[in-house]
Amino acid sequence: MSTSNEHFWWQRGVIYQIYPRSFMDSNGDGIGDLQGVINRLDYLSITLGVDAIWLSPFYPSPMADFGYDVSDYTNVAPVFGDLETFDQLVLHAHQRGLKIIIDFVPNHSSDQHPWFQNSRSSRHNPQRDWYVWADPKPDGSPPNNWLSVFGGSAWEWDQTTNQYYLHSFLKEQPDLNWRNPQVKDAMFAALRFWLDRDVDGFRIDVTHFIMKDPALRDNPLKPTADRTMHKSLGEYDSQIHIHDQGHPDVHRIYRELRLLLDEYSLDQPRVSIGEIHIFDWDKWASYYGSNLDELHMPFNFQLLGVEWQAQKVRKIVDSLEAVLPPGAWPNYVLGNHDETRLASRLGPLGARLAAMLLLTLRGTPTLYYGDEIGMTDVHIPPKKQQDPWGKRVPGLGRDGCRTPMQWDASTLAGFTPPGTQRTWLPVAENFQQVNVEIQLHQPGSLLNLYRKLLAYRKIAPALQIGNYYPIDGVHEDCFAFRRYHPGHPPLIVVLNFSAQDLTLELSEHGIGYIVISTNLDREEKVDLPGLHLRKMEGLMIEVDR
Ligand code: NOJ
């Protein structure tokens, strides 16, 4: 039986994702920055009570994809600050016990990166092979049928050297050739650079993309009925992506990357979390490594696209528990900078239920900034759109979930210093009602529900590291489970997904005491043989059996 000491911070803790452009602007240019994050560390560590922050990219970048097009892997973009500010951020975060996870973007660099500039300058340049170049077909068309996630062919013709280069995303994001050992060495050197600056881990962008079929074979076409689970990707979804990503030797790279992290983990455990949009459970789980020697956690995105029904959600949780290799650690994600916001997907009551689900399941939760106050997607008029994906494929833009954090009811929601004229994306119109300051003063607010759940999770080993046992036969609209860690009070979590009140029979769990309800305060002893739940209510109950 495991004891609490055997668990690492990234297993016990809660991760909070910050999109640096949108969290806090300290200098009045309308764009968030690292100093802004430093200024809000007390909010994160004390007011909210999370344990780690993951920062989306802050590296120098032409910002074609807002930082996911990196032109220098070992520096900070002036718009976000500089290396000294970054060091200060790490220092101040660590003083508060907050860990820092940064984004690592290995699949592609910016086309402005000197590596690519060299590579494209001549077929004989020593860095030519750092990217994926190929000849056209005899008729001049691209080497194969691979598509860019952001629309159109994944190949761009380069006139200087008369070859195509591969870009799985924008043409401004050429794919690096990880089969070239020099690329791997250069990218691992970048990891060391940040580990030496004391970061606690990496979120790895499109982890599975870095190895492709060396023969560059065409992808097979997908039967129309068989679509991606979480979001329609348009034309991209018409293929089975077996050759343009996830070639089996991808695992060799992550085994090496893990060794590197292990080398740095002797006195300070570091973590690797992979962004992996793979919805086949076994394939997904393979990224833990056959001996748990690859990623610490592949992000689990299955809850992002699930139909919000009790049994469907339960099925995901049970499938995850069943597929995890022995000793592997689960995790759950309910929002990020690429997805429709949680409160927009589920509505206000659904967002409350989701908060309880996320923070009571077994596994590391990742929260997306602003979801704790129920920020909703903002409609951005075409003229103000920023996201290149949305500009290329109407309807797939991600600006709506990236708007400035709503701190208070002052002009521009307290996101910028007073006097700032505009922000890079518009502030949501609802900021006067939906903001941190107001919700802190409302006992029943979503923010206060998150704070309660986080505070309870911090002191409850059953939630942090306890086992998960689904409870059968409660009601088809209910997802109920038990969390237990030896020596600590067992808990049951009962979530009513329906729009009706329900009365449930849970007598086998003995006497219960409600510690948190997703609705109004309801801390009371309850009758488990006749447990009453209001519509869409979730309860966390300490039980004696
Ligand atoms: C996944 C990131 O989450 C997304 O924002 C980005 O556009 C692509 N990877 C390309 O780097």
HEC string of 26-86 equals CCCCCCCCHHHHHHCHHHHHHHHCCCEEEECCCCCCCCCCCCCCCCCCCCCCCCCCCHHHH
Q: Which ligand 1 atom is at minimum distance from the Cα of 169?
A: 10
Ligand 1 contact via 68 beta carbon (within 6 Å): yes
Residue 150 alpha carbon, nearest atom of ligand 1: 7
Relative to the CA of 65, which ligand 1 atom is closest? 7
| Alpha carbon distance 385, 395 (integer Å) | 11
3-state secondary structure of 303: helix
**Interatomic CA distance for residues 154 and 147, integer angstroms:** 4
- Which atom in ligand 1 lies closest to the alpha carbon of residue 398? 5
Beta bridge partners of 271: 201
Atom of ligand 1 nearest to the CA of 336: 3
| Residue among 54, 55, 58, 43 at smallest CA distance from 96 | 43
Which residues is 297 bridged to in the sheet?
273
Asked whether 104 lines ligand 1 (CB < 6 A), one says no
Q: What is the DSSP letter of 507?
A: G
3-state secondary structure of 157: strand
Ligand 1 near 33 CB (within 6 A): no
Q: Quick one: DSSP state of residue 153?
A: B
Of the candidates 51, 205, 338, 371, the residue annotated as catalytic is: 205
The partner residues of 331 in beta bridges, in order of sequence, read 364
The dihedral of CA 399, 402, 406, 410: what is its sign?
Answer: negative
Residue among 169, 230, 333 whose CB has most ligand 1 atoms within 8 A, to mutate: 169
**How far apart are the C-alpha atoms of 347 and 364, rounded to whole Å?**
24
Active site residue 263: yes
- Residue 433 alpha carbon to ligand 1 centre in Å: 31
Ligand 1 pocket test target in 338, 340, 391, 398 with most atoms within 8 Å of CB: 338
- Residue 356: both structure tokens together: 């309880």
Residue bearing the CA closest to ligand 1, atom 11? 68
Phi then psi for 9, rounded to 5 degrees?
A: -55, -35
Work out which ligand 1 atom sits closest to the CA atom of 389. Answer: 7
476-504 CB burial, b ≥16 within 10 A, e <16: ebbbbbbbbbeebebbbbbbbbbeeebeb
Gap between the Cα atoms of 39 and 34, Å rounded: 9
SS3 260: helix
* Distance of CA 514 from the midpoint of ligand 1 (Å): 41
pLDDT value, residue 5: 64
Strand partners for 274: 204, 298
Catalytic residue among 84, 256, 263, 476: 263
State in Å: Cα 4 to ligand 1 middle. Answer: 35
CA distances from 196 to 35, 199, 329 (A): 21, 8, 26
3-state secondary structure of 5: helix
Separation of CA 388 and ligand 1 centre (Å): 11
170-196 as b/e, with b when 16 or more CB fall inside 10 Å?
A: bbbbbbbbbbbeebbebbbebbeebbe
User: Which residues are CB-contacts of 396 (< 8 A; sequence separation ≥ 6)?
Assistant: 233, 234, 389, 390
For the chain of 545 residues, list the mean pLDDT of each consecutive stretch of 10. Answer: 71 98 98 98 98 98 97 98 98 98 98 98 98 98 97 96 98 98 98 98 98 98 70 82 97 98 96 96 97 98 96 98 98 97 97 98 98 97 91 88 98 96 97 98 97 97 98 97 96 98 93 93 86 96 91
Copy the structure tokens of residue 378. 């903002």
What lies within 8 Å, CB to CB, of 91 at 6+ separation is none
The architecture CATH gives domain 114-166: Alpha-Beta Complex (3.90)
| pTM for the predicted model, two decimal places | 0.97
The boundaries of every CATH 2.60.40.1180 domain in the chain are 466-543
* pLDDT of 544: 87
Distance 156 CA to ligand 1 centre (A): 19
C-alpha of residue 396 to centroid of ligand 1, in Å: 13
Residue nearest to atom 2 of ligand 1 (CA): 205
Spatial contact of 295 and 287, defined as CB atoms under 8 Å apart:
yes
Rounded CA-CA distance 264/259 in Å is 9
CB of 79 closer than 6 angstroms to any ligand 1 atom: no
Q: Cα of 57 to ligand 1 centre, how many Å?
A: 10
Q: How far is the CA of 473 from the centre of ligand 1 (A)?
A: 41
User: What is the distance in A from the centroid of ligand 1 to the CA of 66?
Assistant: 9
* Measured distance CA(56)–CA(439) in Å, rounded: 26
Cβ–Cβ < 8 Å for 105, 55: no
pLDDT on residue 510: 87
Supply the residue whose CA is at minimum distance from atom 6 of ligand 1: 68
Q: Give the integer Cα–Cα distance in Å for 501 and 524.
A: 18
Which sign does the torsion angle of CA 411, 344, 203, 424 carry? negative
Q: Whose CA is nearest to atom 5 of ligand 1?
A: 338
* Ligand 1 nearest-atom number relative to CA 108: 11
pLDDT at 545: 82
Helices 181-196 and 250-264: crossing angle, nearest 10°?
30
Q: Distance between CA atoms of 274 and 14, rounded to whole angstroms? A: 16
Gyration radius from the chain CA atoms: 24
Residue identified by tokens 């996201």 is 387
User: Has domain 466-543 been given CATH number 2.60.40.1180?
Assistant: yes
User: The tokens of 205 are what?
Assistant: 């962008």
Q: Round to whole Å and give the CA distance between 418 and 412.
A: 9
| Separation of CA 205 and ligand 1 centre (Å) | 6
Binding site membership of 205 for ligand 1 (Cβ less than 6 Å): yes
Q: Please list the helix, strand and coil fractions of the chain in percent, rounded to the nearest 5, in that order.
A: 35, 15, 50
d(CA 466, CA 444): 28
Mutate which of 65, 102, 113, 176 to test ligand 1's pocket (most atoms within 8 Å of Cβ)?
65
Per-residue model confidence (pLDDT) at position 1: 40
Question: CA dist 191 to 8, 103, 197, 202, 421, Å?
Answer: 21, 10, 10, 9, 38
Q: In which residue ranges of the chain is CATH 3.20.20.80 found? A: 9-107+181-212+247-454
Token digits of residue 447? 């923010």
- In a mutational test of the pocket of ligand 1, which residue from 58, 59, 68, 102 has the highest number of ligand atoms less than 8 Å from its CB? 68
Considering the segment(s) 9-107+181-212+247-454 as one domain, its CATH architecture is: Alpha-Beta Barrel (3.20)
Q: Where in the chain is the domain with CATH 3.90.400.10?
A: 114-166
pLDDT at 363: 98
Alpha carbons 533 and 502: distance in angstroms, whole number = 5
CB of 65 shorter than 6 A to ligand 1: yes
Q: Which helix (H) or strand (E) holds 348?
A: helix 342-360
Strands, sheet with 163-166, edge to edge from the N-terminal-most edge strand: 133-134, 163-166, 155-158
Give the other-Cβ count within 10 Å of 265's Cβ: 17
- Give, for ligand 1, the residue of 206, 337, 401 to mutate: max count of ligand atoms closer than 8 Å to Cβ: 206
Asked whether 338 lines ligand 1 (CB < 6 A), one says: yes
At residue 356, the 3 state secondary structure works out as helix
N- to C-terminal Cα separation, the chain? 19
